[in-house]
Amino acid sequence: MVPTGVVAGFPSPAEDLGASRIDLNKQLVIHPQATYVQRVSGNSMEADGIFHDDILVIDKAIRPRHNMVVVAVVDGAFTVKRLYDQRGRVKLRAANPTYPDIVPKEGQTLEIWGVVTNCIKQFPRA
């Protein structure tokens, strides 16, 4: 028997554990033709729960808006940051105070490549 949900507190003996499968594509992918996955390298987004070696699900069909976590291309290099877009000011913010904001300078290219919709974690296996 496979549980339909798992309680993260005390288990409920009254809960009937049904056997239903979860289709990860249905859960994680909204736009299949515009969805990609990338593995994270680095620790600039740790306060947002995104850690080194996590896998990001990125949707290029979602319009990026202020405060979304995005994958951006800055001068040809990919980075994951939180988008700040207010009153004509755009910058990319890290979720780790040891990393400075990325503020586009004159002549610098910045493209929002996609919006991060999910983060998949892998735990160590013995």
Say how many Å lie between the first and final Cα of the chain, rounded.
Answer: 24
Select which of 44, 60, 91, 121 is catalytic: 44
3-class state of residue 26 by DSSP: helix
Residue 12 annotated among the catalytic residues of the structure: no
Select which of 26, 41, 60, 81 is catalytic: 81
In this structure, what token pair is assigned to residue 53?
């070696």
Residue 44 annotated among the catalytic residues of the structure: yes
Q: How far apart are CA 30 and CA 118, in angstroms?
A: 11
CA-wise closest residue to 82 among 93, 71, 98: 93
Catalytic annotation, residues: 44, 81
